[in-house]
Amino acid sequence: MFNWDDVRYFLTLQRQATLAAAGAALKLDPTTVGRRLVKLEEELGARLFDRTPAGYVLTEAGHRLLPRAERIEREALGVERDVAGEDQKLEGVVKLTATEMLTTRFIAPHLRRFRERYPQVQLDLNCTNLDVNLARREADIALRLARPTQEDLIIKRLSFIHLGLYASRDYVDRFGLPKDSLAGHQMILFASRRPFRRENDWVEARMDGAHVALRSDSVSAMYAATTAGTGIALLPCLVADHDRQLVRIPVEGGPEPRQIWQAVHKDLRDSARIRAVLDFLGKVLTAPQERISAA
């Protein structure tokens, strides 16, 4: 008889393409995923995937099953969200996804206060720039620097992140404070990727022959390298302005500020533990305007 729970294994393998990746997504051993797939194929009497060097690819039978499996998933997750959304107990797990910088510099320093107020609520923090699917419960709440586009989400803009140029006091002692030009200085830039184009274009237009010492897709790594005296970098003003290790470089203007967007699935908005986390994030990330100085 067809086991409805095997839909998860089928869909995850279809999305991940390999047993190893599917096992990681399901937090299971890859062999378990393989066994469940074989069992499902035996119960249905059809081969659902072709095993290729590039991974698992749907057969014709697999393509016929796919839309039905996705409908089953939507219904199952809808029931799960409905139950979670009606839960008024201030306890349980809340899955929060945010960028590394938001997590380490804006959220983590305040978690003790949240824990003291809500000791029975466990935060499951996933630090990533990748999009996650809230409808599939890959996360309950998402914080992003670009407005989410998925359907059935409640989206709120929490604040802005202004960026400015900073160097460590040690760097300034060794190389001096740039005044009219960055020429001759060491620069720490974002990785040469499309998401960072806005910031890189702004810095590169002002380098005047300065040297690139480091590029990174991690703002936390750039921050650490800056405080270590590696070079000059664009950093969040709200954090760097209060860091005694850093000095603001007097350059006029700054790149267009990033916006912090919060998203939660509409079915979860009334859950007590979700509301507790949303309220906490609102207080932490909606900074008073006098503390957010333009770059």
Residue that finishes a domain, picked among 37, 61, 86: 86
The percentage of the chain sitting over the pLDDT mark of 70, rounded to a whole number, equals 92
Say if residue 291's pLDDT is above 50: no
36 and 105: one domain?
Answer: no
Say if residue 172's pLDDT is above 50: yes
Which residues, 6 or more positions from 102, have their beta carbon under 8 angstroms from its beta carbon? 143, 145, 260, 285
Residues 82-112: tens digit of each pLDDT: 665 555 678 889 999 998 889 988 899 899 9
Determine the pLDDT at residue 276. 93
Determine the pLDDT at residue 3. 65
For residues 241-265, average pLDDT:
92
Lowest mean pLDDT among 136-150, 162-176, 183-197, 280-294: 280-294
Cβ(236)–Cβ(190) under 8 Å? Answer: no
Residues 68-87: tens digit of each pLDDT: 888 877 777 766 656 655 55
Determine the pLDDT at residue 290. 35
Stated pTM of the model? 0.66
Determine the pLDDT at residue 293. 32
The domain containing residue 177 runs over which residues?
A: 163-248
> What is the DSSP track for 60-117?
HHHHHHHHHHHHHHHHHHHHHHHHHHH---S-EEEEEEE-HHIIIIIIGGGHHHHHHH
Q: Closest Cα partner for 177 from 249, 119, 235?
A: 249
99 and 124: one domain?
Answer: yes
68 and 205: one domain?
Answer: no
Residue that finishes a domain, picked among 86, 105, 121: 86
Determine the pLDDT at residue 259. 92
In a domain, residue 144? The reply is yes
143 and 183: one domain?
Answer: no
CATH code where residue 188 lies: 3.40.190.10
In a domain, residue 197? The reply is yes
The domain total for the chain is 3
In a domain, residue 253? The reply is no
Alpha helices in 87-230 (DSSP H): 100-101, 111-117, 169-175, 197-204, 219-227
